[in-house]
C-alpha cells in the first residue's frame, strides 16, 4: 500500500471519530495519536469513568478544545460541533454525527450492541474488542455490507496485522503453510551470566546455565529440551487463542492444535518449526494458525508480539537469492518465514480508519464461524458458579481455552459468551463448558452467534 497516494485521493475529507472504552490501554494509545493526523478529528469519547476523561484528554493533546460532558441526546444537539464530547452511555456516541466508531471496551455485550447500532445507521465500525468479533464477527460483517458501511478489525492489534500480511502473500500467489504470532512476552537469556528473565514485568530472574545446551536449534529435540526447562513458566493465553480465532474465521485457516503448539523459539528458527512433520517440523497438516513463545538473547530485538507467515519456496533459485540477503529460510530450503515484528496498538489504528472511511476498505463478507473458542474445566466446577472474564489476558478462572474446528466444537459454549453467566449444572474436570450448561436464551450476543452459525 502506497500511503502517499492514499493521502492524495483524500480530497479534504475527514474521519469524525468516536471511541468507546477510551481512557485506558488501547484506547489511550489511539487518543494520543489522533491529534497528529490531519484527516481525522475526535468528536466523542465514551467511558465508564468520565471523570478521568478530561485529565486524559489534556495529557494526550486535546487541552485547547472545548471539552463537554453530555448526559443525553438533547444536550448533544445543543453543543457546537467543534466541541469534544464525553459521554458515559455508549448509545449516545451514535448521536454525535461521527463517521467512525472505534470499539475497545473488551465487553462483548456492549461492543456487539454498539457495533450494530452504528452499522445500521451507516457508521463505520473499527473493532478492537477481539472478544466480540470471535462471537459475532460473521454477523457484524454481514450487517455492514447490508447497510453500505465498513466493519473492520483494527491495525495495531495482531489479527488485522496478520490478515494484512496473509492477504499480501495470497495476492502474490504464495502458498501459506502456517500463520501466527508470538505470545505477548519474551524469554530473554543472557549467555554471559546464564540468567533467564521474562519481559512480562514479573521481575523473574533465574540462573539457568543449562539453556546453553538448547540455545542452538538442532531439531525437535531442542524444542523438547526448552519445554522441559521453561514449560512451567508458560500457559495457554486466552487472548492469543481469541486473536487466532479471528484470523481463522476470515482466512479459513484451521487451529494447529486445540491449545496451539506454543513452541519456545527464536525468530530465525520459525521456518524450521512451523512446517509439516515429514519435513522436520511440528505441524500435522498445512494451512493452520499457531502461536509461539519468543526466545532471544539479552542483546537481541524482540518480536514484540508480532505476526508471521510460513510460505512454501516454489523456486529454489529465487529463494537462494533471498536467503543470501538474510531472509529466514528453512534448513531444507523448502519454506520461508515472513514476519512483522510489531503491533503498535492505537498508534497504527488510524490507518484502518482512513482506509475504511475514505476508501471503503475493511469488510470481510467471507467471514464465517470457522473455529470456536471453547473452554475446558481445570477442576470440577459446581452448579451455581458464576463465570467471569477478568485480568490482563481476559481469562476465566478455572477454565483453559481451546480453539476448535467448528465441526468439533459445535455444542461448546463460546468463551466470551460465558462472561457473567451462571452454570446451571456441574461440569466435570476435563469437560467442555457446553451450550447446555448455561442459560443463554436471553443473551443478545448468543442470538447473534446463532445467526452467524447459519451463514
Q: Are residues 118 and 247 located together in one domain of the fold?
A: no
Q: Are residues 57 and 13 located together in one domain of the fold?
A: yes
Considering the domain boundaries, does residue 286 fall inside one?
A: yes
> Which residue, of 359, 389, 418, is where some domain finishes?
359
Considering the domain boundaries, does residue 43 fall inside one?
A: yes
Alpha carbon distance 202, 196 (integer Å): 12
Q: What is the DSSP letter of 48?
A: S
Q: Are 289 and 258 in contact (CB under 8 A)?
A: no
Give, for all 455 residues of the chain, the pLDDT tens digit.
677 776 666 567 899 999 998 778 898 999 999 999 988 999 999 988 888 888 889 888 888 778 999 999 999 999 988 899 999 999 999 999 999 999 999 999 999 999 999 999 999 999 999 999 999 999 999 999 999 999 999 999 999 999 999 999 999 999 999 999 999 999 999 999 999 999 999 999 999 999 999 999 999 999 999 999 999 999 999 999 999 999 999 999 999 999 999 999 999 999 999 999 999 999 999 999 999 999 999 999 999 999 999 999 999 999 999 999 999 999 999 999 999 999 999 999 999 999 999 889 998 989 999 999 999 999 999 999 999 999 888 899 999 999 999 999 989 999 999 999 999 999 999 999 999 999 998 999 999 999 999 99
Alpha carbon distance 15, 41 (integer Å): 6
Listed in sequence order, the residues at least 6 apart from 18 whose beta carbon sits closer than 8 Å to its beta carbon are 43, 44, 45, 46, 93, 94, 96, 98, 100, 101, 102
Q: Which of 150, 176, 151 is nearest to 165 (CA)?
A: 176
Alpha carbon distance 45, 423 (integer Å): 35
Domain with 250, as residue range(s), is 160-343
Q: Are residues 353 and 388 located together in one domain of the fold?
A: no
HSE toward the beta carbon, residue 167, CA cutoff 13 A? 11
Q: Are residues 271 and 396 located together in one domain of the fold?
A: no
pTM: 0.96
Considering the domain boundaries, does residue 65 fall inside one?
A: yes
pLDDT number for residue 65: 79
Q: Are residues 320 and 391 located together in one domain of the fold?
A: no
Count of domains in the chain? 3
Please state whether beta strands 307-312 and 15-20 pair in parallel, antiparallel, or not at all (unpaired).
Answer: unpaired
Q: Are residues 381 and 425 located together in one domain of the fold?
A: yes
Alpha carbon distance 273, 217 (integer Å): 10
Please, is 364 exposed, middle or buried when counting C-beta atoms within 10 Å of its C-beta (0-12, 13-18, 19+)? Answer: buried
Q: What is the DSSP letter of 454?
A: T
Considering the domain boundaries, does residue 364 fall inside one?
A: no
Considering the domain boundaries, does residue 428 fall inside one?
A: yes
Q: Are residues 166 and 253 located together in one domain of the fold?
A: yes
Considering the domain boundaries, does residue 193 fall inside one?
A: yes
Considering the domain boundaries, does residue 225 fall inside one?
A: yes
Which CATH number belongs to the domain containing residue 132 in this structure?
Answer: 3.40.50.720
> Which residue, of 359, 391, 409, is where some domain finishes?
359
Q: Are residues 112 and 53 located together in one domain of the fold?
A: yes
Which CATH number belongs to the domain containing residue 413 in this structure?
Answer: 3.90.1210.10
Q: Are residues 378 and 350 located together in one domain of the fold?
A: no
| C-alpha torsion 389→393→397→398, nearest 10 | 130
Q: Are residues 126 and 35 located together in one domain of the fold?
A: yes
Q: Are residues 194 and 312 located together in one domain of the fold?
A: yes
Considering the domain boundaries, does residue 366 fall inside one?
A: no
Phi-psi region of 211 (alpha: psi -120 to 50; beta: other; left: phi over 0): alpha
> Which residue, of 359, 391, 424, is where some domain finishes?
359
Q: Are residues 336 and 375 located together in one domain of the fold?
A: no
Amino acid at each position: 500500500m502506497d500511503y502517499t497516494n492514499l493521502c492524495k485521493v483524500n480530497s479534504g475529507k475527514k474521519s469524525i471519530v468516536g471511541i468507546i472504552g477510551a481512557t485506558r490501554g488501547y484506547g489511550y494509545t489511539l487518543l494520543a495519536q489522533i491529534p497528529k493526523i490531519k484527516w481525522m478529528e475526535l468528536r466523542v469519547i465514551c467511558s465508564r469513568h468520565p471523570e478521568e476523561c478530561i485529565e486524559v484528554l489534556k495529557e494526550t493533546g486535546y487541552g485547547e478544545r472545548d471539552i463537554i460532558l453530555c448526559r443525553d441526546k438533547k444536550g448533544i444537539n445543543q453543543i457546537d460541533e467543534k466541541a469534544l464530547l464525553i459521554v458515559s452511555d455508549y448509545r449516545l456516541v451514535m448521536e454525535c454525527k461521527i463517521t467512525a466508531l472505534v470499539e475497545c471496551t473488551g465487553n462483548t455485550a456492549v461492543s456487539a450492541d454498539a457495533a450494530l447500532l452504528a452499522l445500521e445507521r451507516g457508521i463505520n465500525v473499527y473493532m478492537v474488542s477481539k472478544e466480540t468479533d470471535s462471537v459475532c464477527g460473521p454477523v457484524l460483517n454481514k450487517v455492514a455490507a447490508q447497510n453500505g458501511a465498513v466493519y473492520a478489525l483494527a491495525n495495531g492489534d495482531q489479527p488485522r496485522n496478520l490478515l494484512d500480511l496473509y492477504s499480501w502473500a495470497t495476492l502474490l500467489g504464495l502458498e501459506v503453510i502456517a500463520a501466527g504470532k508470538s505470545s505477548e512476552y519474551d524469554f530473554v537469556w543472557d549467555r554471559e551470566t546464564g540468567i533467564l528473565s521474562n519481559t512480562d514485568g514479573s521481575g523473574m530472574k533465574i540462573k539457568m546455565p543449562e539453556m546453553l545446551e538448547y540455545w542452538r536449534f538442532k531439531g525437535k529435540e531442542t524444542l523438547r529440551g526448552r519445554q522441559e526447562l521453561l514449560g512451567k513458566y508458560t500457559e495457554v493465553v486466552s487472548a492469543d487463542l481469541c486473536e487466532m480465532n479471528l484470523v481463522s474465521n476470515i482466512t479459513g485457516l484451521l487451529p494447529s492444535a486445540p491449545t496451539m503448539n506454543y513452541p519456545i523459539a527464536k525468530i530465525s528458527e520459525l521456518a524450521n518449526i512451523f512446517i509439516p512433520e515429514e519435513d522436520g517440523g511440528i505441524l500435522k497438516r498445512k494451512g493452520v494458525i499457531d502461536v509461539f513463545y519468543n526466545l532471544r538473547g539479552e542483546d537481541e530485538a524482540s518480536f514484540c508480539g508480532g505476526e508471521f507467515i510460513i510460505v512454501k519456496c516454489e523456486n529454489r533459485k529465487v529463494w537462494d537469492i533471498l536467503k543470501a540477503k538474510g531472509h529466514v529460510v528453512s534448513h531444507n530450503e523448502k519454506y520461508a518465514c515472513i514476519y512483522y515484528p510489531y503491533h503498535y496498538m492505537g498508534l497504527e489504528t488510524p490507518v484502518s480508519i482512513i482506509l475504511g472511511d475514505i476508501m471503503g476498505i475493511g469488510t470481510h463478507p467471507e467471514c464465517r464461524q470457522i473455529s470456536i473458542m471453547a473452554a475446558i474445566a481445570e477442576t470440577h466446577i459446581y452448579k451455581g458458579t458464576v463465570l467471569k472474564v477478568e485480568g490482563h489476558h481476559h481469562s476465566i478462572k478455572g477454565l483453559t481455552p481451546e480453539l476448535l474446528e467448528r465441526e468439533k466444537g459445535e455444542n461448546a459454549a463460546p468463551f466470551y459468551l460465558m462472561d457473567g453467566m451462571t452454570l446451571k449444572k456441574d461440569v466435570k474436570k476435563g469437560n467442555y463448558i457446553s451450550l447446555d450448561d448455561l442459560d443463554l436464551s436471553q443473551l443478545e450476543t448468543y442470538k447473534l452467534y446463532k445467526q452467524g452459525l447459519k451463514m
